Structure 1
Amino acid sequence: MIYHVMLEPWMRAENGVLKGGPIGIGMDAVTTSPTSKVSGSLEALGIIAFVHCYSRILIEIQDTIKAPPPPESKVMKLATSIGVAVTTFLYLLFGFMGYAALGDATPGNLLAGLGFYEPYWVVDIANVAIIVHLAVAYQVYCRPIYDFVERYAARRWPESSYVTREFHVLVLRSSYKLNLFRATWRTAFVVTTTVAAVLLPFFHDVVALVGALGFWPLCVYIPVEMYVTQKKVLRWSPLWVWLQILSLGCLFVCLAAMAASIVGIITIHKK
């Protein structure tokens, strides 16, 4: 219903055709059975979970905000509300527009799946935007992993100069600290993940799988348990029961999305 209300006037004014439908992809299109249609829907939930799985870096970002006024909790609450609202609106808008324009033939990757390269400047701008977005997001999302490994190595080998010693490097009259372990380990991590991503032929299935794996423990279970502990919510109180229902519901959805993603990976691998 939202799909038709938002896009039907625009699409009919543009080319007179509104492709797709409110029930999604038909049985005679990409999917061939109700089972595969359900699997595709669950896989889409995994991708949505991946898009909104930002709790793992929320505390990292909050630590960079200076103390009051105003307190960082209020700043992050406002930033989170605005960020989630804008992200949800843009993704829904792009998804609706792509489906309305292409219908059941909509590819998973609009840039690579349509096979068009004209006008070339539009494609180039889109690719540059993706590179900038992924380069920044990669650094932010990997920061907790970097910190965890480097702190563990420092505790495990405190006497190793390779792990703990820092060198001062002068670049353009500016001095920077260089740690050999940090430089080599981060480089190896980036190279490994990049090569693995290039070799994987099923992008969306992997994204859905990663989203399903990380969403419940990092974005639901841990925040819920932290809230229960901090607010001292009584066990079996209405609020506690509701939070547990929410957590279990998200767990079941993530498990279903994970299973659908694995099925999708196996299906593509057999082709």
Structure 2
Amino acid sequence: MDIEASSYVEPVKKEVDDDGKSKRTGDVVTATTHIITVVVGAGVLALAWAMAQLGWIAGVGAMLAFSSISIITYNFIADCYRYPDPVTGKRNYTYMQAVHSYLGGKMHVFCGLVLYGKLAGVTVGYAITTSTSLLAIKKASCFHHKGPDADCKFSNNPYIIGFGILQIFLSQIPNFHKLTWLSTLAAATSFGYAFIGSGLSLAMVIQGKGHPTRLYGVPVGPDLTAADKIWRVFSALGNIALACSFATVVYDIMDTLKSDPPENQQMKKANVLGITMMTALFLACGGLGYAAFGDNTPGNILSGFGSYGSFWLVAIGNICIAIHILGAYQVMAQPFFRIVEMGANMMWPDSDFINKEYPTNLGLFKFNLNLFRSTWRTIFVILGSIIAMAMPFFHEFLALLGAIGFWPLIVFFPIQMHIAQKQIKVGSLKWCALQLLNFICFCVTVVASIGAIREIGKNINKFKIFTYKQ
């Protein structure tokens, strides 16, 4: 008996969390890192243009205001990770689940439309961003070899087509985790081009090559009417709104956090640290870019250095953008792919075209081929590429995406969930304050959307579709 007892080895039990999944190990540091990685995207490159339209006072003020609002509302989101109690309640693994838990089915559908609509739109923006960056390398090479006065205007279309072909192949991969190395590389390169853009701008200012700046931005004059000035200001607000957004992945980040201390407490600290660091980087990129180029600040800051003798740094920065977008496209597209394919499976569960997997060998690669997945994902990428070729306007399109997603995802849903969770009485002082903030941000979204749409429409009328050169 004693011998048997002494020789008995208790089986190793796998540590799991309260929901039965593997023990989460994330903390404030890892969450902060994720936030910074997500928000440091191509939208950073448009902040200098936004600053030029708004000027120093409104530009800095807008960035600080958007960041402050983001801290408040993302903290509301953090409290809604669990339902009904923010510490001991059931986990909400996605933003849509949280909205459904606190606000019901109709809001759940509205959230899904906005969330996945924005994800689809971002993929078009990424195609434009990549083509603009690769084109900037060609323009920089042209200026480098032919001089600063050379006519170096080219079409985006070949680069958009090439990017689309590559994304068609990457989109056939069912799960993005098989491309983890690409996603990691994409995150690293995002900092590369942000620092290169800021560094080149700082170098221009130090060398005395910077252009005059203004407290109130580009002035009204012969080249800019008062109406155009207002529309550009609205569009600039959309650019800043996009740069501040990580709502599409906020619950993915929270779902990595360990349970002690509570996830919402850790996420609130990460929100403050991440958004503060993000704001500092945004002010540096926007401010230095504006100081370097003044009234003529380009929509993509890296595209403005072609004639300033910084060929290799510009090329490296734009290559970093292309690599970053290569992975970021799939990070954004895969959730959209998944929701469409889940819906098709529910509607036609017996269809072999939609559901059957065919084991396939292609040289050293082995994968499962699904006819519906291959067909619809290819069509999606092609349609996005066509739209990008028709409207290759970098900062205008980013402004539209930022405006569309800012109010519902960063303000409206968080405030409404907070009111429901805390059972704040209608008409109380706190309720009125929250609804006032809600209304103000709604107005910002409306005017920013109108401004971005007008800028896109103006460019489409000015340039022939599919033949635009820059």
TM-score (norm 2): 0.50
Amino acid at match of 1:54: F
Residues 62 and 140 of structure 1: is their aligned pair in 2 closer, same or farther, counting only changes over 3 Å? farther
Residues 12 and 179 of structure 1: is their aligned pair in 2 closer, same or farther, counting only changes over 3 Å? closer
User: Partner of 2:276 in structure 1?
Assistant: 85
Structure 1 distance, partners of 2:422, 2:414, is: 12
Structure 1 distance, partners of 2:260, 2:374, is: 37
Structure 1 distance, partners of 2:263, 2:337, is: 24
Q: Is there any run of 5+ residues in structure 1 with no aligned partner, and where?
A: none
User: Partner of 1:194 in structure 2?
Assistant: 385
The CA deviation at 1:162 is 2.6
Structure 2 residue corresponding to 1:20, chosen from 213, 235, 251:
213
The CA deviation at 1:116 is 2.9
* Secondary structure of 1:270's aligned partner: helix
User: Partner of 2:252 in structure 1?
Assistant: 60
**8 Å contact kept, 2:210–2:294:** no
The CA deviation at 1:270 is 2.7
Structure 1 residue corresponding to 2:320, chosen from 118, 129, 132:
129
Residues 102 and 208 of structure 1: is their aligned pair in 2 closer, same or farther, counting only changes over 3 Å? same
User: Partner of 1:35 in structure 2?
Assistant: 227
* Secondary structure of 1:73's aligned partner: helix
Amino acid at match of 1:26: P
Residues 17 and 191 of structure 1: is their aligned pair in 2 closer, same or farther, counting only changes over 3 Å? closer
| Residue 348 of structure 2 is aligned to residue 157 of structure 1 | yes
Structure 2 distance, partners of 1:60, 1:167, is: 31
* Secondary structure of 2:349's aligned partner: coil
The CA deviation at 1:233 is 1.8
**8 Å contact kept, 1:19–1:103:** yes
Residue deviations 1:211-251 (CA, integer Å, cap 9, x gap): 21222122211121122222222211222111111111111
User: Partner of 2:420 in structure 1?
Assistant: 229
User: Partner of 2:429 in structure 1?
Assistant: 238
Structure 2 residue corresponding to 1:216, chosen from 379, 399, 407:
407
Residue deviations 1:73-126 (CA, integer Å, cap 9, x gap): 344434433332222222221111111112111111233345438433212211
Q: Is there any run of 5+ residues in structure 2 with no aligned partner, and where?
A: 1-55, 61-201, 463-470
**8 Å contact kept, 2:354–2:370:** yes
Structure 2 residue corresponding to 1:51, chosen from 243, 250, 260:
243
* Secondary structure of 1:22's aligned partner: coil
Residue deviations 1:48-83 (CA, integer Å, cap 9, x gap): 1122232122223434x1652454434443443333
Structure 2 distance, partners of 1:194, 1:78, is: 39
Residues 66 and 101 of structure 1: is their aligned pair in 2 closer, same or farther, counting only changes over 3 Å? closer
Percent of aligned pairs sharing the same letter:
36
Residues 132 and 79 of structure 1: is their aligned pair in 2 closer, same or farther, counting only changes over 3 Å? farther
**8 Å contact kept, 1:50–1:211:** yes
TM-score (norm 1): 0.83
The CA deviation at 1:172 is 9.5
Amino acid at match of 2:252: E
- Say what the alpha-carbon RMSD is for the aligned residues: 3.1
Structure 1 distance, partners of 2:430, 2:340, is: 37
Residues 17 and 102 of structure 1: is their aligned pair in 2 closer, same or farther, counting only changes over 3 Å? closer
Q: Please tell me whether Structure 1 or Structure 2 has the larger radius of gyration of its CA atoms.
A: 2
**8 Å contact kept, 1:57–1:141:** no
Residues paired across the two proteins, number: 265
